[in-house]
Each structure stands twice: as C-alpha cells, then as structure tokens.
Structure 1
C-alpha cells in the first residue's frame, strides 16, 4: 500500500451540501416505500432487463431492499470519504499537492454517493410504479445509470490531473 500524506481536510461547502441532500433523500425514500407498501400488490418487479422491462417478480417486502442498499452504501461511502489519504489518485500525491487533491476527492465522493442514492431512489420509484401500472424503468434509465457516475468520475479525474 502506498504511503500518501495524511492531512486534515475540512469538508467543503459542496461536500456538506451533497451529503445533506443524500441524507434527506434517503429519509424520503424510506417514507415513500413505507407509504406505498400497503397499496402494492403481493408481487412486485424485483429486476429489470437491459431495456428497463421487469423480468423478475417477488414479494412486496422486497420494496425495502433498495432503500436498505441506499442507506448502507451512503454510510460506507460517507465514512470512507473521511480518509482521502487511502484513495487511489491518477497521480502521485505529495505534501505539496495533497491539500488540493484531497478536497476534490472528498467532494467527488459526496457527489457520487448522492448519485448512488438517487439511483436507488429511482429504482424504488420504478419498482412501485411498475407494480401499479405494469410499466418499466425504460432504456434511458439504464444508460443514465451507467453514464452519470462515469462522467462524474472523469470530470474529477481531469480536475485532479490539473493539480500540480
């Protein structure tokens, strides 16, 4: 394991904003799933194919899996973001550039964390809607779910590569 400088980096305004937004969205997601639960049929879609069409069904209790995954993912990524000296970077981290790289990395983690919570929220919403009206998530969702986190990562890597 490479030895990178360990420095204290206070959270940026954007990091705080996206973490707060994620927490609010997780709470709203749990409330939404709980409220929808009583109106769901006994079986709901639990998996969608590459074009966003439901292809597996299960108990309506499974509606709480996505909010659970969103919560666990958020918590793990939140605490991981507190240790930017353990991240992988596209360049050598030094005492001189760590104070510029670490805030970027932490903000990147907060944004990607928010995107993941948003993704699980949309899947939960899609499961509920699909159970009620036999619709699907759509192919646009599948493309967005793949591209948005990838684009965010690329943007931050480009920004990090500009750091001297």
Structure 2
C-alpha cells in the first residue's frame, strides 16, 4: 500500500532533516570552541551528573541519525506496521494515514530531543528543568492522540 505524503508529512520531514543537518553543521563549525569535557548524562531534573570527552558527542549524533533512518525505513513499509485494529477494505486508507502521522510526528519529536541532547552538552549547559516532563508529555500525548484516532477510525 502506498500512502501519499500530505503537506504536513512533507513539512515534518523537512523539519527533521533541518534539525539533523543543522546540528551536524553546528558541531562541525563550533568544534574548536566545544570544551574538551562535556556533559554525557543528565538526571531527571536536567542536572549534569556525568562528564566525558567531547568526542562522546558523536555517539549521540550517530544514534540520532540511526533512529531517523530506521524510522524512515519502517515508514515506507506499511505492511509491517502493527495497527492494533482490524484492517478492512473500508478503513485501511484512514487507519494507515493516521499511523503514518503517528510515525512521522514521533520521528519529529525524537529528532528534536536528540538535537537538544547534542547542542546542550556542546554548550556545556544543563538541560532546562522542564525538558524531561515536556518530552515525556509530548511523546505519550502524541501516541495517545493518534492511537485514539486510529481506534475510532477502525469502524
């Protein structure tokens, strides 16, 4: 099944790419100004609780790109998606469209979070105290929103 991209899909995809490439450009341009020791872990309050060499930041870059590419790959194959509802000829287009929105919005949130987790250590800053709760609310709220819509679309 081929699910056409909407304008919202295209905008979200470009935002993801802009964040990933922008973060990479920032690191390359500012590499000489990044301190030799950077935060490598934060507690739930956003306070720095571990330090490491600045090269460790590339680990987070690799993870962010791997997740982005992995999600993008899965996004192309609706046949492997677990819909959670029975797919019929009547509801298939709507359910798969909603699932694609769920995947795309989750990818956007993940990309924003990882960009933040790259930029803040590079600037040697603690995360804002609101970062963890906002991230968790966004991620779970996003999933709940789309899953409820999928559940309602099954009929």
TM range (shorter): over 0.9
Shift of 1:20: 1.5
Tell me, in whole angstroms, the C-alpha distance in 2 between the residues paired with 1:82 and 1:101: 15
Tell me, in whole angstroms, the C-alpha distance in 1 between the residues paired with 2:58 and 2:31: 9
**Count of paired positions:** 154
Shift of 1:85: 2.6
Shift of 1:127: 0.8
Equivalences for 1:1-164 in 2 at 5 Å? 7-129=1-123, 131=124, 135-163=125-153, 164=155
Kindly report structure 1 stretches of 4+ aligned residues shifted beyond 4 Å.
Answer: none
Does the 8 Å CA contact 2:42/2:48 hold for their aligned counterparts? yes
Task: Tell me the TM-score normalised to structure 1 length.
Answer: 0.87
Question: Structure 1: where are the runs of 5+ without partners?
Answer: 1-6
Does the 8 Å CA contact 1:12/1:107 hold for their aligned counterparts? no
Task: Tell me the TM-score normalised to structure 2 length.
Answer: 0.92
Shift of 1:83: 1.5
Does the 8 Å CA contact 1:81/1:106 hold for their aligned counterparts? yes
Cα-to-partner distance string for 1:26-60 (whole Å, 9 max, x where unaligned)? 10010112222211221111001111111111111
Does the 8 Å CA contact 2:35/2:122 hold for their aligned counterparts? no
Shift of 1:95: 2.1
Q: Which residue of 2 aligns with 1:4?
A: none
Question: Structure 2: where are the runs of 5+ without partners?
Answer: none
